[in-house]
Chain A
Amino acid sequence: MIVINNLSKRFRKKEVLHSINLQLENRVYGLLGANGAGKTTLIRCLAGLYEPQHGEMLYNNEPIHKSKSFRQDLGYLPQAFGMFQELTLYEMMDYICSLKNIAKSKCASEITKALTSVNLENKGRDRIKTLSGGMVRRAGIAQAILGDTKVMLLDEPTAGLDPSERARFKNTVNALKKDRTILISTHIVEDVDACCNSVIVIDEGQVLFNGSCEELRNIAINKVYMINEADSDSIVGEKFILKINEIESKIFYRILAKEKQEYQSEKPNLEDGYMCLVKGLA
């Protein structure tokens, strides 16, 4: 279990993380937040790439920066991921096995297992430069799980992937989530909905929400309305237009409203809950 207490990180005068408190257990967490909210900084702090100014991060009650087991258990996929283009996928995995100090005798089985997990078992002999962007991302996950890692930090893993690769990614995460703590940073709410048990919403360096997907959705109950364009002025109180749809030549707004309206409310989705939080409509 990972415990984060009162974590703060500042870059010069700018405070990027502000007193973060979290507890991460063996499940898949979606770390949601707008660009610049502090998601990557939080993940990098956890990965040991940044040293925070305040607070502590514990892994099984041991400070992360001193914990050897955390280093062994950690798998990390950065936002921008790449590998030596000149090596084959198998050679690259072998290279990472060496870096992770995985015993030579176990390397082959670990690589096969990791590549199978991400559906790349047939690509082992291919050079990295011949793989598609999605395959490289999956290879990134494969390198993260090499050595049977227990903690996986995935920073924007679906950025730049086409829908089919994103779907494949979600399947991969679902296949891996057993007995692992997986933290997926993203600003794509659908991804979280598809594969995360819990959601952490972060905005301007602060945790706005930490709970299940259902709980996040529930925040938007009775706050989501689908109204005709002509009726949009009749909304009482603060509102936020989520979507504009055209149905049978008529324009409809999907609106978030802070106060209860006279219209029939819609069933909220995760994005509605998230927007409620970040727009201060909760």
Chain B
Amino acid sequence: MRKLYKDSLLVFLRSKNLSIPYFALLALTLAYFGFCFNNYLQYSEIFSVAMWLVRPCIFLIAFFIYCSYELAIKMYDNNMVEYLKIYGQGLWKAYGAIILCLSTIVAIPSIMFFAFVVFMYYYIDVYYLPFLIHLMKLSVLYFGLSFIIGMMLGTAMAAKLKNKRLAVYGFAVIFMLLNTTFTEAPFRIPYLLFNSYRTERMLYYIKDFLTVVPHELGNNFTIAPIYGFPMEPIRWILAVFWGLFPLTLILTECFNRKTKKALIAASCLMVLLVIGLFSVRGSTLIMDMRVDSYPFADPIYYMDSPREAYDGYEAGFIVEEYEMNLTISNELHAEVEVTIDNRDLDNYEFTLYHGYILMSVGTEDGEIPFTREGDYISIESLNGADRVIFKYYGKSPKFYANRQAIALPAYFAYYPKAGRTNIWDLDRYGYVVNISPNESDYTVNIRSDLEIFCNLAGSNNSFRGKSNGVSLFAGMYEEIAENIYAEPMRSDLPKREYIREAQEILIDIFNRLERPEPESVILFSDKRFFQMPQNFSLNSNTDDTVVMSDHITSVFCNNGPELAENIMESIIKPKANIWFRGGYLSYLFNRQDESDPLVQSAVDLNLLLEEIDEWRSLAGKFSDMNGEKRKNVSEKDRATRIADERRRYDINQIVNEKAAKYLFYESPRKEENLRIFFDYFTSESEEDYLGLVERLVREELEHDRN
């Protein structure tokens, strides 16, 4: 075999159409490493470098398809197959030698990539072992197995399609395109034609099955350091499958009919098995433009669902105790026992995110009937029991829980929460922060290969304590300082001094407002701090920073002032437009941009009042507009509606920015206005904030006239 291998290698090296491009590729790879290294020197973002590194992966795979096909096809081009077949397993030996030779060809760039990532790891000087392991796995899976897939596909196409180069390169191009974001536009066509996402989902299902790269060419989403590159078990299974399946195709060419039949049967079984496993792949982090991708899945789901408003909903009971037994494998499998304080209700309502499939609800006496409607579970009677056991499994597109990473913040209903609460706020475009006003006793036991970090005390993935929610994080995640948990590979790591500074700023702010500090702010610097993945704010405006009874989750913590402002934002209720609230906070924290023309010019109060009226009139036109009605608007009305909406959007920003600027910066009564609005934002008042703005502005106008 060594001789055959050596000769195959000689054939490769002496073929100008193979060796010249190959050595050019090696040279280009080295140059590309230089580019990536330079990128790190400029920006010091290791994940950005890693993303650059994996981007050309599909080109390398395509190159290896070309190399392997052109090498293997030489046997057919030179009419060798017929006589090779008659020597005992001669063709298989020849293929074996070619595969071995190609493995060597592939191994060189693989080793180069591996060496480069290891070099980068030591160069960045972080010494976080899970990251090194992640990089090594990345190299094996995407710079090793993926290249082998290219090699095997090329060889298999030579065996099966023989000299039909057009078909071979056609398939190769399709394969390449399926590993890029090129498919976004064509895959959206069925939706545009039939107004249904079903076909798009099916097309993406097929695309995912063929995806062999970690980050598609053209994908501009960043990689979350807690999660890293996708390397869930299904990715490994797919990689092995795409390596073995072509091998079975090659073998069918090499053996006689009986063995051929057995091989076909084996490959069919393999296909069925992998499709089966692929269908139950569970929680994965999808980041592209498809409808199921995490930035869009929930917004689209809740936009299409009828609007529900459960603000102020009273459950009628409190969950005193949670006993949670979670298994986090490819997705979340949970058995959650809740103890409630009120046995006498006719109906019990719970909220559990709709992505979790409820298998049963029961008490100690057995299963009890329930109804599930989206995010809500209704139980008619507990038959006097005070303990309810929920068994469910499933996933959320955003709040993942799998073998690679876990990000389950306490405010997300991944376990049953008392009563009906909204999950998504359409108006503010973000997740509703669902925190219980009451603390419960939690016992949480988790079966997972990952080391999980939780706001409760405990070790070995078992936690216990009292809180108003349980947050779970795992992956490339660490306790980087006492009670501060973060993704060590991020450059904007939280620090204890930032948190202390934020607390001091907040105390000053409350002194300025002449208001007592809320409970959540008192000693918050002693709470456990969990840094959330940076890209979590991609699809949500509402949960950047959430303060819970014993811990804080925050996406950003670059400095004290920013954190203080984020915490204040989480304290005040979302009762005003985002521009107005943003303005309020920036003036409250003296963060206004003095060079901004708006800040420099004086607000014309009469014009402001006129614009408020105009905005109200435009807003009235769309108050009952929902997704369904939007679809049914006639062509004639569409242009008018679009123009009105554009004007409303423009005027909305102008009105809110001007109002905030005047009331909290320009007005002689600005301190009082800040207090009035603080009270308004923290009260249960349902008054329209623009009404309050209007009232205050008119009062000032009156005052000026007098």
Is residue A87 contacting chain B, with contact meaning CB distance below 8 A? yes
Q: What is the minimal beta-carbon distance from B584 to any residue of chain A, in angstroms?
A: 76
Q: Say which residue of A51, A85, A98, A100 sits within 8 Å of B257 (CB atoms).
A: A51
Given A76-B83, A99-B93, are A91 and B78 also a contact pair (CB < 8 Å)? no
The reply to whether B83 and A143 contact each other, CB–CB distance below 8 Å, is yes
Q: List 27 A-B contacts (CB under 8 A).
A: A49-B86, A51-B257, A65-B256, A71-B87, A71-B88, A76-B82, A83-B78, A83-B80, A84-B7, A84-B11, A84-B74, A84-B78, A86-B10, A86-B74, A87-B7, A87-B10, A95-B7, A96-B87, A98-B3, A98-B4, A98-B7, A99-B84, A99-B87, A99-B90, A99-B94, A100-B90, A104-B3
Q: CB of A36 within 8 A of chain B?
A: no
A211 interface residue, CB < 8 Å from B? Answer: no
The answer to whether A81 touches B79 (Cβ under 8 A) is yes
> Is B85 in contact with chain A by the CB < 8 A criterion?
yes
Chain B min CB distance to A47 (Å): 5
Q: Which residues of B, 62-121, contact A by the 8 Å Cβ criterion?
A: 74, 77-80, 82-88, 90, 93-94
Minimum CB–CB distance from B476 to chain A (whole Å) comes to: 47
Chain A: minimal CB distance from B73 (Å): 12
- Which residues does chain A contribute within 8 Å of B256, judged by CB atoms? 48, 51, 65
- Write out the residue numbers on chain B whose beta carbons fall within 8 Å of the beta carbon of A86: 10-11, 14-15, 74
Residue B1 is within 8 A (CB to CB) of chain A in the complex = yes
A contacts, CB < 8 Å to B: 47-49, 51, 65, 68, 71, 74, 76-78, 80-87, 91-92, 94-101, 104, 140, 143-144
CB-based contact A100/B87 at 8 Å: yes
B residues adjacent to A (C-beta < 8 A)? 1, 3-4, 7, 10-11, 14-15, 74, 77-80, 82-88, 90, 93-94, 256-257
Asked whether B88 lies within 8 Å of A87 as measured between CB atoms, the reply is no
Q: Decide if A94 touches B7 in the complex (CB within 8 Å).
A: yes
- 5 new A-B contacts at CB < 8 Å, known A96-B87, A98-B4, A144-B83: A48-B256, A49-B86, A81-B83, A84-B7, A87-B7
CB-based closest 8 A-B pairs: A82-B78, A86-B14, A80-B79, A78-B82, A82-B79, A98-B3, A99-B90, A99-B87
Are B3 and A48 neighbours in the complex by a CB distance under 8 Å?
no
Taking a contact as CB atoms closer than 8 A, the residue among B1, B80, B90 that contacts A84 in the complex is B80
* Contact in complex: B80, A82 (CB < 8 Å): yes
Nearest-CB residue, chain A, relative to B90? A99
Count CB-based A-B contacts (< 8 Å). 77
Please tell me if the beta carbons of A48 and B15 are within 8 angstroms of each other in the complex: no
Q: Tell me how far the C-beta of B343 lies from the nearest C-beta in chain A, rounded to whole angstroms.
A: 77
Residues of A within 8 A of B86 (CB): 47-49, 71, 74, 76
Cβ–Cβ < 8 Å partners of A49 in chain B:
82, 85-86
Residues of A within 8 Å of B7, CB to CB, are: 84, 87, 91-92, 94-95, 98
Min CB–CB distance A216 → chain B (angstroms): 29
Known contacts A71-B87, A86-B14; A95 and B82 CB within 8 A of each other: no
Q: How far is the CA of A51 from the CA of B255 in the complex (A)?
A: 12
Closest to A85 in B: B78
A68 to B88, CA, bound (A): 9
Chain B residues positioned under 8 Å from A76 (CB to CB)? 82-83, 86
Cα A140 to Cα B79 with chains together (Å) = 11
Residues of A within 8 A of B80 (CB): 82-84
Q: Which A-chain residue is minimally distant from B80 (CB atoms)?
A: A82
Least CB distance from B600 to A in Å reads 76
A155 to B, closest residue via Cβ: B82
Asked if residues B83 and A101 are in contact (CB atoms below 8 Å), the reply is no
Q: What residues of A have a CB within 8 angstroms of the CB of B94 in the complex? A: 99
Q: Which residues of B contact A87 (CB under 8 A)?
A: 7, 10-11, 14
**Bound CA–CA A144/B1 (angstroms):** 20
Whether A78 touches B83, Cβ cut-off 8 Å, given contacts A86-B10, A86-B11, is yes
Decide: B82 and A80 in contact? CB cutoff 8 A: yes
